[in-house]
Amino acid sequence: MIDAFHLSGEFPKNGNDDGYPWPSGKPSRACVQSARILTWASEVEAENIAYLKRFRRAYGTVRGAIPAGLHVPGPRSSESLKAPSRRQLLALEAHLPGTLDVYQHPLWAALDATTEMAACYRQKVALERVVPNHLPDLLRDERADEAAEAIGSLDGLAFLVLSVRVLLSKGERPAAFGAACCIVQALCFLAISRRFVAAMEILTEALQRTALADQSDGRFRITSDRTAFLVMYEAVSFVAGEIDRVTGVGELRQHERHRWPIYVALLRHLVRAIATPGGEMREASLEAFACAYGRDGQRKADQLARYPIFVDADE
């Protein structure tokens, strides 16, 4: 995959001849950088937990598991929003392979408004090697289970962000809104992933400042109220918990690769309903949600109705 971001942590400075697709000022850039760092720290923590479990099974202890002098940050540590040094990134990559890919992931360059469109086109083509190029259609058609692996990674999210950018560069705003709606769906799935849950709030803010900013099809627009996203995440997480309780899928917690496709398959209809604009479908889904999950479900449905993701474009 093409590395679209510099290891130094600096955003590309070159401009976009087509004009910036969303705000490119310091607040947006700082928010994306914070999301980048916290998402990386979350990945480091997840990989380190998995490594320590393997080490304990092999040796009966975790003593000596982490090399002397190596500091492993977590998303809740005081250093979680400080940019890691090149030396720290490489040391952690040597200990926990794959973590550097998160820090250098093309998503962060895609979210930076100053990244040239030519680079965006190239990166979208590169991502098509690992992400189905009809991912938006799969999400819209409630077939997310056919792309579960892509949806559960930053690759799928980056592909959707780049899709929005490409469509905006062509002046196809209604289609860009459709791709942005798919981003909302993708966020619902990421919100139940242990690898992303700690970074979801700042990641959502970064997307609200960029790919989701001012997105409208003339009838609806995506809200700027972050509470609406958090309420949506809580509802999806609540149902995931009920799936654990009723089906026993939670027993697969140690086997994320086996557990994840099951969740995507079972949650895809709910996510499609609550993360898609449209009155009748949403109202019917909220009513069904309340009926299926009793008093707790009713509370969640009431919250979803109070904090809609999609509001009238004129509001």
For residue range 124-137, list pLDDT tens digits in order. Answer: 999 999 999 999 99
pLDDT of residue 258: 67
pLDDT of residue 282: 66
In a domain, residue 17? The reply is no
How many domains in the chain? Answer: 1
Q: What percent of the chain has pLDDT over 90?
A: 51
pLDDT of residue 5: 39
Residue 113 near residue 122, CB atoms below 8 Å: no
The pLDDT confidence band at residue 251, using thresholds 50, 70 and 90, is: low
Domain hosting residue 215, numbered range: 26-312
In a domain, residue 4? The reply is no
Residues 20-56 have pLDDT tens digits of 788 777 788 889 999 999 999 999 998 999 899 899 9
The pLDDT confidence band at residue 15, using thresholds 50, 70 and 90, is: very low
In a domain, residue 59? The reply is yes
114-118, 186-190, 196-200: range with highest mean pLDDT: 186-190
pLDDT over 80 at 80, yes or no: no
In a domain, residue 9? The reply is no
In a domain, residue 12? The reply is no
pLDDT over 80 at 59, yes or no: yes
Residues 82-117 have pLDDT tens digits of 889 999 999 999 999 999 999 999 999 999 988 999
pLDDT of residue 249: 60
In a domain, residue 110? The reply is yes
Provide the whole-model pTM.
0.87
Residue 300 near residue 237, CB atoms below 8 Å: no
Average pLDDT over residues 298-315: 87
In a domain, residue 20? The reply is no
CA atoms within 13 A on the CB side of 191: 24
Biggest CA-to-CA distance, the chain: 62
Average pLDDT, the chain: 84
Average pLDDT over residues 287-310: 83
In a domain, residue 176? The reply is yes
pLDDT over 60 at 7, yes or no: no
